[in-house]
A and B are shown apart, each in its own frame.
Chain A
Amino acid sequence: MGRMSFPVLCMGILGFGILYVPMAVMIAFSFNAGKLVSVWAGFSTKWYASLITNEQLLNAFGLSLFIAFWAATIATFFGLLIAIAFVRFGNFRGRLMLSGLSSAPLVMPEVVTGLSLLLLFIGMEATLGWPSGRGVDTIIIAHATFGMCFAAVVIQARLRDFDLSIEEAACDLGARQPFVFLSVTLPVIAPAVIAAWLLAFTLSFDDLVIASFVSGPGSSTLPIVVFSKVRLGVTPEINALASIMIALVAVSVSAVAFAMRRRIVRGG
């Protein structure tokens, strides 16, 4: 395992414990026949059963998927543009501004981003007539906006390490931009682009605060529905839902990590 001192190892295990014990308990009790998380009333999958028939949750799930898909796609595209500009264009006009605008959303508190976007949408509706009311469009725009900043960071990191000499080889062999980019650069950085898409997808899918501000009637995302239920207390159905989500994430992350294991290990 490596040279490890005992206290460091202990701290490490404790840290992982903090990360995982709550979820482990929750998953375990999603199979609890009873309602409480303190008393085990026997094994049961009834909460999963009732989950499948819960229309509200299912609709919200579908809506979140739809929104996350589009937000991630827009975010990745723009993030790619931003990354290219920063890594390849040297000191271009507007670099400082783009740098500030694309890094501030990363650390801005969500309540501020959410509120300000809502105010913008209202202002836009008043002056331009669009967007008419808040709904799926506004949520997608909002998610894409902060998503592209995260996507840019991921893609930038990969682009920086990119070996320019293969692009030069492509030019030397008769290709021109943007064909060089499409035939050589993009395929080679594809894993990073995919990772950026997945990151933007996750951030969108899990977002509660911003969605709450910019959603409208009939556009309740899954986190919004879950939150409204959760404020009232622990409900076993949410346990079941959470367990399913965690399982889904666990499988996907493990699969991706396995596929990319060599690259992850190089670090940074």
Chain B
Amino acid sequence: MAPFIRLNALTKKFGDVLAVDNLSLDIEKGELFCLLGASGCGKSTLLRMLAGFELPSAGQIEIDGQDMAGVAPADRPVNIMFQNYALFPHMSVAGNIGYGLRRAGMRGQSLHDRIEALLKLVRLQGYGDRKPNQLSGGQRQRVALARALARQPKLLLLDEPLAALDKKLREDTQFELVDIQETLGTTFMVVTHDQEEAMTLAGRIGIMDQSRLVQVASPRHLYERPANVFVADFLGMISFIEGCITKVSKDSIEIDSTPPIIAATASQTNAQSNAHSKLGVGDKVILAIRPEKISLSATATGEINEIPVVVEDLAYLGVASNYRVKAANGKMFKLQQQQSRRTARPLTWEEAGFIQFDPNDVIILQE
């Protein structure tokens, strides 16, 4: 059974500039998929190709088995919610929402009922006669969403949907969006540069970097098992240690740092990557550890992977504290400590201490 949406070897060049490079991706029906990447990575170009506003230089787009080659935006079963909403300033809210329906031939009572239903879906009942310039940013966003959903598209594209909203509104809207998507069952593709947005909204995230799709997985998978250094560094905070392998054993490797660090190759994190089975002595690796996996204490406990450090910087965030600590060889580590009840006084600036992390929590990466 072919996936609902299939992008096959999609490429887009603008003159000499490669915006999307040989991108292949399958999206399931009813998924809330997120395309995450920094500005300039090509995600917007990909979005526009799906909508039909850019023609691919190579590759195919298939939606529900139908090839989109040569299909105009007006005829595609795809609709966009634009980043700047792009509401028609001269039409009312109802006029905006009904625009796509009128193009499809809907008139009269059924048109009216459908518009009302959509207004209800986005919680804007009674706002039908207002003009866009009479609405707040959040309200305009909801009109844009309703308008894009009106024609019941097979794929809804959302271009940075939460970017223009302030923080509080953003949090509320995030959950609303997920609710609506689950209620309707429409396949959503959100394009964003905001990690938090992607992690909250998406069932699966595709990370893009410089015109390429780097890794596609659930938020948890991406965070705990990043495929490479870029993904590891892109999502959340992380600390890296580079080194050459000095010892390889059945279920772990050791690298040449001071003190030597041991990483478990059979851990849940690393076992998935079969590249590790090829690791031998002398190979260069990059080890990565998430901040919440590192513990900091004033005294040494004598366990494996314990490094003496000095506190360089700390940020008290209320729920936790973020530390930047420096080891003897100049290496920096980022760690996060919860403000749970503790007996010992937490370390402060320029104090010396020890960090420690479990070998099973170390992620082994290769480039």
Chains A and B touch (C-beta atoms under 8 A apart): yes
Q: Which residues of A contact B (CB under 8 A)?
A: 163, 165-166, 168-176, 184, 187-188
Taking CB atoms, residues of chain A closer than 8 Å to B52 are: 171-172
- A168 to B74: give the CA distance in the assembly, Å: 9
Name the residue of chain B whose CB is nearest to the CB of A180.
B74
Complex contact B88–A166 (CB within 8 A): yes
Per-position binary interface string of chain B over residues 140-178, scored 1 when its CB falls under 8 Å from any chain A CB and 0 otherwise: 000000011011000000000000000000000000000
How distant is B289 from chain A, measured CB to nearest CB, in Å?
43
Residue B243 at the chain A interface, CB threshold 8 Å: no
Asked if B86 is an interface residue, CB under 8 A from chain A, the answer is: yes
Q: List 10 A-B contacts (CB under 8 A).
A: A165-B84, A168-B86, A171-B53, A172-B78, A172-B100, A173-B151, A174-B74, A174-B151, A184-B88, A188-B88
User: In whole angstroms, how far apart are the Cα atoms of A187 and B131 in the complex?
Assistant: 14
* Chain B, Cβ-Cβ closest to A169: B86
B335 at the interface (CB under 8 A from A): no
B89 at the interface (CB under 8 A from A): yes
Q: Which 4 A-B pairs have the closest CB atoms?
A: A173-B100, A174-B103, A165-B86, A169-B86
Decide if B82 touches A168 in the complex (CB within 8 Å): yes
Binding site for A on B (CB under 8 A): 51-53, 72-75, 78-80, 82, 84, 86-90, 99-100, 103-104, 147-148, 150-151
A174 and B104 contact, Cβ closer than 8 Å, known pairs A166-B87, A187-B90: yes
Q: How far is the CB of B90 from chain A (nearest CB, A)?
A: 4
A175 near B53 (CB under 8 angstroms)?
A: no
Chain B CB count within 10 A is highest, among A163, A170, A187, for: A170
Task: Report the tally of A-B residue pairs with Cβ distances under 8 A.
Answer: 61
Write out the residue numbers on chain A whose beta carbons fall within 8 Å of the beta carbon of B99. 170, 173, 175
Distance in angstroms between the alpha carbons of A174 and B86 in the assembled complex: 15
A176 touches B72 (CB 8 A): yes
With a cutoff of 8 Å between Cβ atoms, the chain B residues found around residue A174 in the complex are 74-75, 100, 103-104, 151
Give bound CA distance, A39 to B151, whole Å.
Answer: 76
CB-based nearest A residue for B48: A168
Residue numbers in A under 8 Å from B86 (CB-CB): 163, 165-166, 168-169
| Chain A residues, Cβ within 8 Å of B147 | 169, 173
Q: Within 8 Å CB of B51, what residues of A?
A: 168, 172
A1 → B minimal CB distance (Å):
29
Shortest beta-carbon distance, A125 to chain B, in Å? 46
Which single residue of chain A is at the shortest CB-CB distance from B73? A171
Q: Distance (Å) between the CB of B73 and the closest chain A CB?
A: 4
Residues in chain A near residue B90, CB distance under 8 A = 187-188
A125–B137 Cα distance when bound, in Å, is 62
Q: How far is the CA of A173 from the CA of B74 in the complex (A)?
A: 6
What residues of chain B lie closer than 8 Å to A165, measured between beta carbons?
Answer: 82, 84, 86
List of A residues within 8 angstroms of B89 by Cβ? 166, 188
Distance to closest chain A CB from B89 (angstroms): 6
Further pairs besides A173-B99, A175-B74, A188-B89: 11, Cβ < 8 Å:
A166-B86, A166-B88, A166-B89, A169-B87, A171-B72, A172-B51, A172-B100, A172-B148, A173-B74, A173-B100, A176-B72
In the complex, what residues of A have CB within 8 A of residue B74's CB? 171-176
Judge whether B82 and A169 touch: CB under 8 Å. Answer: yes
A188 CA / B103 CA spacing, docked (Å): 19
A172 pairs with B84, CB closer than 8 A = no
Residues from chain B with a CB closer than 8 A to the CB of A166 are 86-89
- Contact assessment for B88 and A169 in the assembled complex, using a CB-CB cutoff below 8 Å: yes
Q: How far is the CA of A172 from the CA of B82 in the complex (A)?
A: 10
Beta-carbon nearest neighbor of B157 in chain A: A172
Q: Once the chains are docked, how many angstroms separate the CA of A171 from the CA of B84?
A: 16
Give, as a whole number of angstroms, the nearest-CB distance from A9 to chain B. Answer: 36
**Taking the nearest CB of chain A, how far is it from the CB of B260, in angstroms?**
56
Residues of B within 8 A of A172 (CB): 51-52, 73-74, 78-80, 100, 148
Q: How far is the CA of A175 from the CA of B52 in the complex (A)?
A: 13
Q: Do the beta carbons of A175 and B88 come within 8 Å of each other?
A: no
The minimal Cβ–Cβ distance linking A185 to chain B, given in whole angstroms, is 10
Q: Contacts of A173 on B, CB cut-off 8 Å?
A: 74, 79, 99-100, 103, 147, 150-151
Distance A165 CA – B82 CA, assembled complex (angstroms) = 8
Closest to B99 in A: A173
What is the CA–CA distance of A173 and B103 in the complex, to the nearest angstrom?
Answer: 7
Which residues does chain B contribute within 8 Å of A170, judged by CB atoms? 88, 99
Residue of A nearest to B80 (CB): A172
Judge whether B151 and A169 touch: CB under 8 Å. Answer: no
Indicate whether A168 sits within 8 Å of B84 (C-beta atoms), given known contacts A173-B99, A173-B100, A188-B90: no
Tell whether A175 pairs with B80 under 8 Å between CB atoms, given A163-B86, A168-B86.
no
Q: Give the docked Cα–Cα distance between A168 and B88 (Å).
A: 11
Cα A188 to Cα B87 with chains together (Å): 11
CB distance from A91 to the nearest CB of B (A): 14
User: What residues on A are CB-neighbors of B53 within 8 Å?
Assistant: 168, 171
The residue in chain A whose Cβ has the minimal distance to the Cβ of B144 is A169
Chain B residue nearest to A184 in the complex (CB): B88
Tell me the complex Cα distance, A188–B150, Å.
23
CB-based nearest A residue for B51? A172
Chain B: which residue is nearest A167 at the CB level?
Answer: B86
**Nearest neighbor of B78 in chain A, beta-carbon distance:** A172
Compute how far the CA of A188 lies from the CA of B100 in the bound complex, rounded to whole angstroms: 18
| B104 pairs with A169, CB closer than 8 A | no
Residue of B nearest to A171 (CB): B73
CB proximity of A18 to chain B, nearest CB, Å: 40
* Residues on the A chain within 8 Å of B79, using CB: 172-173
Cα distance A170–B147 in the bound complex, in angstroms: 10
Report the separation of the CA atoms of residues A165 and B90 in the bound assembly, to the nearest whole angstrom. Answer: 15
List B contacts of A187 (CB < 8 A): 90
CB pair A169 B103 closer than 8 Å: no
Give the residue name and chain of the A residue nearest to B76 (CB).
A172
A contact residues around B151 at 8 Å (CB):
173-174
Name, among A165, A174, A184, the residue most crowded by chain B CB atoms within 10 Å (CB to CB). Answer: A174
